[in-house]
Amino acid sequence: MKYFSALLPPPNLTGILHLGHMWNAILQDVLVRFNKQEGKEVYWGYGLDHAGISLQTKVESELKKQGIQKSSLTKEEFQTKLWEWKEIHAQKIREQYRELEFDLPFEDERFTLDAESKKLVLEVFKKLYQEGFIYRDERLVNWDPVLKTAISDIEVIYKSEKAKLYSLKYLIEGTSNYLTVATTRPETIFADVALFVHPDDERYQDLIGKRVKVPFTERYIPILSDFYVDKEFGTGAMKCTPAHDFNDWKLGKKYSLPLIKAYGEEGILLLGRYEGLRKEEVRKVIEKEVEWEEYTTNISYSERSGAKIEPLLSKQWFLKAAPLAKEALIYWKKHKEEMKVSSEERLVEYLENMEDWCISRQLDWGIKIPVWIKDEEHSLDRFKDALPSEDVLDTWFSSSLWPLIVFAKKEELFPISLLVSGRDILLFWISRMVFMTYYLEHKLPFKNIYLHGLVLDSQHRKMSKSLNNGIDPLELKKEYGLEAIRLFFLGNTHQENNIAFSKNKLDYYSKFVHKLKNASIFVASESTQEAFKALNSAEEWLLFKLQEVEQEIKRHYNNLNFAFLTERVISFAWDEFCNKYLELFKLIKKSNSFENTKGFLFYAWNRLLLLLNPLIPSFNIPIKLPVITPTKKPLNMEWFFKYLNTYISIKKQLELDWDLRINTRLVTEKEYSEELLDYLKLLNHELIEVAKERSKERTLTFFIEDVMVELFLPEEKVLKYEKYIVQVKAKLNEELKFLKNRLITLAKAPEHLRKEVQEKITKYENELTSYTTLYGQ
């Protein structure tokens, strides 16, 4: 059975859908509709994620606005509030997806906290626990001091801001000399276990291996060397506090250094002369006794609570991810053809360097870890004096099982044909789905993984509430319509590249949709659903073009070249169908010299609608008709259409009446068919001759390929048009000169600004070349 299956990344239940959700869903919706057209069995997996920490913080925030503190509610009451939020926002998301007209199976919706999902998640946890992949230990985590929970790296944001850089003096043992070390967190010195210098730093060669006294204590620690140290930062010496810094943690493991905890989850000092004080108070005391200076650095914050993150030793549950990732990677490397990935190198790197994963969270919203605990003992089965774990599983743990949750009853459509996802969650979600699925099913979850970038604003900034630059997809729909929005996203999708969203960029697609709507009205009034027999050359040409574009677009679909397939459909519909064939159809209609034309117009329009339908399904529903292929190589209609376009432009510029009959001469060495010359007569031409030499009279002259065309017009009209061409070319040259100078001044500007100018230069250069080729001046 030929099938196509896709998996929609589950949106978080924290608010409304944004443009990123819309972009992601559009790419999949197009492929779902195309594969249905191809006659395949199609399924688009859909559901919602419970969004652990995100949803809980949202609910707590809403309760505060109502004057309700979480602490005033019982656990059951708070759970009720959480589920109420879930129900309201799940419905909002469904309504938004429906309003955006995505072809999703809402009746099959899954949720990471529904009964079947929880059952699977708990079974997987128990299997991993029993096989020794899950363990409990005190390790360094990102600690949110406001929410009082460990959080994942993806929930940490960094802000560049001014801080204080403190200079701490460590007395060198046996001397009266000091080694000065700079730090932004002086309160952690009570947990220092070593100082490090660079092995090649000549200033400290004689100090490596000696000891120093930690300020404000009586402890001595060694001076060690490692290439990790930056010789240029501060004095070139750094303190190592493995219990309070992730980089120091790695150094500590490398050199088997002890772990000392300066303060715990409440931020209260656990040792030393300031034991019992809060760390903020300790910093203020130290600040009075040491030198410091202002320093700009990146500070880590919790995306959810806004609190400064503390790297902290905490008792948590961890998954040994490395061996699981290694097994999946070994299989994938041997069977590369089973799963294509648009960012293969990055995925390989992640799977090769997978670290132990903290899978526990200190939250109320989530799946409880099914373990009984007493001191250091723990078991899946209840034992004497043991208490059930209060922790819940990290949202990403249940999300890593999403392919198995959603396709539990669709095994015949597994592995999933395609995952389309943002490149920013390759590590946190996609890599984990890969190794968890392989661990459980001994197969890879996807046949193809396509990654896209992020939606930025017109200034290439990430959209966020703080910048007030977010855009509601539904408001955008009201303003521009779904068709233009879908075409914008599809036409600007290049693998892993970001999209800089601008309403101005939608204008191009709006104009195209407007063109289509006008064409639709025209076709409805001028075509008939009737059989047609013999085709004229223009119809044979259009049939040939239809076949050509259908084959080309199918290749683009198979290769996931969204931008290319979109622009190819647009160029065919706009240029070949509307600007060429329909314009010729109007001439044919006037002449009454061709048969079958109305029946063929209906047929061709519906073939075009089949191309358009996956891209803009809300536009018009096509009637599927038998495919007719060209029976002969078509006449060179391209020459005629180039001629037609130039001729119409000249008549408009000179304000000539359309019915004015103009004497015309073609100067060429070639023979031209009578049928092609008949098309020229549709333009009210009085064709004098096809000659090998140009006329001695002054004529308005232009070139179409290797043919010189002479139009016999009054001399004042010829002079007027020649002057117009000179002015156009002068203006283009002037604009090019300005843009090239502008590009020089932007030498150090952001790449997107330089690219915009370069695109304009290319556009004007092409126009200039076109005028030179056409008019030979």
Domain coordinates in residue numbering, the chain: 3-133+320-452, 142-312, 473-634, 662-670+687-775
In this predicted structure, the answer to whether residue 67 has a pLDDT above a threshold of 90 is yes
The reported pLDDT for the residue numbered 472 is 87
Tell me the two tokens of residue 432: 């984990």
Tell me the two tokens of residue 506: 């939608």
Average pLDDT over residues 172-194: 95
- Of 79-83, 86-90, 726-730, 745-749, the poorest mean pLDDT is in 745-749
Say if residue 415 is preceded by a cis peptide, omega within 30 of 0: yes
176 pLDDT band, cuts 50/70/90, is very high
Tell me the two tokens of residue 79: 């759970």
Please give the backbone phi and psi of residue 118, each rounded to the nearest 5 degrees, phi first: -60, -40
Q: What is the pLDDT of residues 658-677, one digit of tens each?
A: 778 888 888 888 777 777 77
Tell me the two tokens of residue 72: 């005033």
The three-class DSSP label of residue 43 is strand
Q: What is the pLDDT of residues 91-119, one digit of tens each?
A: 999 999 999 999 999 999 999 999 999 99
Q: What is the pLDDT of residues 501-527, one digit of tens each?
A: 888 889 999 999 999 999 999 999 988
Q: What is the pLDDT of residues 5-57, one digit of tens each?
A: 999 999 988 778 889 999 999 999 999 999 999 999 999 999 999 999 999 99
Q: What is the pLDDT of residues 344-382, one digit of tens each?
A: 999 999 999 999 999 999 999 999 999 999 999 999 999
In this predicted structure, the answer to whether residue 774 has a pLDDT above a threshold of 70 is no
Q: Residue 273: which residues within 8 A CB-CB, separation 6 or more?
A: 216, 217
The reported pLDDT for the residue numbered 464 is 63
The reported pLDDT for the residue numbered 504 is 86
Tell me the two tokens of residue 702: 């232009």
The reported pLDDT for the residue numbered 240 is 97
Please give the backbone phi and psi of residue 255, each rounded to the nearest 5 degrees, phi first: -110, 15
The reported pLDDT for the residue numbered 651 is 84
In this predicted structure, the answer to whether residue 468 has a pLDDT above a threshold of 80 is no
CB atoms within 10 A of CB 41: 14
The reported pLDDT for the residue numbered 546 is 94
The reported pLDDT for the residue numbered 466 is 56
Whose tokens are 């801001």? That residue is: 161
- Of 62-66, 195-199, 410-414, 754-758, the poorest mean pLDDT is in 754-758
Tell me the two tokens of residue 349: 């790197």
In this predicted structure, the answer to whether residue 635 has a pLDDT above a threshold of 80 is no
Q: What is the pTM of this model?
A: 0.85
The per-residue pLDDT of the chain, averaged, comes to 90
389 burial type by CB count under 10 A (0-12 exposed, 13-18 middle, 19+ buried): middle
The reported pLDDT for the residue numbered 776 is 65
Q: With both helix axes pointing from N to C terminus, report the angle between 537-558 and 674-681 in degrees, rounded to the nearest 10.
A: 100
The overall longest dimension of the chain from CA atoms, in Å, is: 113
CA distance 544 to 552: 12
Please give the backbone phi and psi of residue 222, each rounded to the nearest 5 degrees, phi first: -80, 160
CB 700 within 8 A of CB 721: yes
Average pLDDT over residues 208-236: 94
The reported pLDDT for the residue numbered 591 is 63
Q: What is the pLDDT of residues 112-146, one digit of tens each?
A: 999 999 999 999 999 999 999 999 999 999 999 98
CB 143 within 8 A of CB 314: yes
CA distance 282 to 130: 44
The reported pLDDT for the residue numbered 771 is 67
Average pLDDT over residues 550-574: 96
In the chain, the N- to C-terminal Cα span, in Å, equals: 61
Homologous superfamily assigned to 3-133+320-452: HUPs (3.40.50.620)
Question: How many alpha carbons fall within 13 Å on the CB side of residue 775?
Answer: 21
The three-class DSSP label of residue 617 is coil
23 burial type by CB count under 10 A (0-12 exposed, 13-18 middle, 19+ buried): buried
The reported pLDDT for the residue numbered 189 is 96
In this predicted structure, the answer to whether residue 384 has a pLDDT above a threshold of 60 is yes
The reported pLDDT for the residue numbered 113 is 97
Tell me the two tokens of residue 742: 């502008």
Tell me the two tokens of residue 42: 């199609």
Please give the backbone phi and psi of residue 355, each rounded to the nearest 5 degrees, phi first: -100, 165
The reported pLDDT for the residue numbered 596 is 67
597 pLDDT band, cuts 50/70/90, is confident
The three-class DSSP label of residue 566 is helix
The reported pLDDT for the residue numbered 154 is 86
Beta-bridge partners for 49: 12
| Residue with more model confidence, 554 or 764 | 554
CA distance 317 to 714: 90
The reported pLDDT for the residue numbered 144 is 92
Q: What is the pLDDT of residues 423-437, one digit of tens each?
A: 989 989 999 999 999
CATH T-level fold of 142-312: Isoleucyl-tRNA Synthetase; domain 2 (3.90.740)
CA 747 vs CA 460, 479, 498, 754, 758: distances in Å:
18, 37, 22, 8, 12
594 pLDDT band, cuts 50/70/90, is low
Query: Which strands make up the sheet holding 372-374, listed edge to edge?
Result: 377-379, 372-374, 387-388
Q: What is the pLDDT of residues 442-456, one digit of tens each?
A: 999 999 999 999 998
Average pLDDT over residues 213-218: 95
Homologous superfamily assigned to 473-634: Isoleucyl-tRNA Synthetase; Domain 1 (1.10.730.10)
The reported pLDDT for the residue numbered 353 is 95
